[in-house]
């Protein structure tokens, strides 16, 4: 039996790169998928790809960085599939500058998308799951966050991104400690993959091998771990 049959997952930034790979992999394991991406056309394409393969998916382009619009994402998932069991916080942006060249806008935007973007949906869903647990309903929920090697070790030219991703790692530790009593697990990963973000930062490093050898940077390499973390 597919390991995510009957489960519904919201994936942010799912219109390409890692998020798309996660969405396709979850669908292949039986999950209902909410494909969230600020680019409506990209979200539509991935959701359409899942449905064409026989899976269940809807597309959504609501903003993850405000509670009001994040609530609309959850509401769309509930209307389509009845419940949400898994949240994959994947969406991100880069505004790379040396520290002394960073503007306030560069700092704020990266913090907003990465840190606040990780907060909003998780806060809404965790409150829902807590209330269900307190009401005696069984809860088997998952929060899967995205940190980075930059957040764990630092990265020259990425002080804003590194600080945000370090914050995600710390946030996950607190979520895991606080939410486990309600049947919610929280995990974070620091994936290495070829995406629009990494291609813009280090194109030569992440390029696909031309000799047919193993593609170390393929997003599909990361997806099985994320699906397993999201499973029961």
| Catalytic residue numbers, as ranges | 148, 161, 165
Place of tokens 């929280």: 186
Nearest in space to 186 (alpha carbons), one of 134, 228, 150, 230: 230
Locus of tokens 């030219």: 157
Q: Which residue has the tokens 């669908």?
A: 27
Cα Rg of the chain (Å, integer)? 17
CA distance 156 to 152: 13
In the block, tokens 């600020």 appear at: 38
CA distance 94 to 229: 26
Give the C-alpha separation, 212 to 223, whole Å. 21
């Amino acid at each position: 039996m597919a390991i995510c049959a009957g489960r519904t997952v919201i994936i942010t930034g799912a219109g390409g790169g890692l998020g798309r790979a996660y969405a396709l992999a979850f669908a292949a394991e039986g999950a209902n998928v909410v494909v969230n991406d600020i680019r409506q056309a990209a979200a539509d394409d991935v959701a359409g790809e899942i449905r064409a393969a026989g899976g269940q998916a809807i597309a959504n382009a609501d903003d993850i960085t405000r509670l009001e619009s994040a609530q609309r994402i959850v509401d769309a998932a509930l209307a389509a599939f009845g419940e949400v069991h898994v949240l994959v916080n994947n969406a991100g942006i880069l505004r790379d500058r040396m520290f002394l060249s960073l503007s306030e806008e560069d700092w704020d935007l990266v913090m907003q998308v990465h840190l606040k973007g990780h907060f909003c949906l998780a806060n809404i869903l965790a409150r829902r799951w807590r209330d269900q647990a307190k009401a005696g309903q069984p809860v088997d929920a998952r929060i899967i966050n995205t940190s980075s090697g930059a957040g764990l070790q630092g990265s020259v030219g990425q002080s804003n991104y590194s600080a945000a991703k370090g914050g995600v790692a710390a946030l996950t530790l607190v979520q895991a400690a606080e939410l486990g009593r309600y049947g919610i697990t929280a995990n974070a990963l620091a994936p290495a993959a070829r995406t629009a973000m990494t291609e813009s930062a280090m194109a030569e490093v992440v390029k696909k091998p031309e000799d047919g050898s193993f593609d170390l940077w393929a997003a599909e390499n990361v997806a099985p771990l994320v699906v397993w973390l999201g499973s029961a």
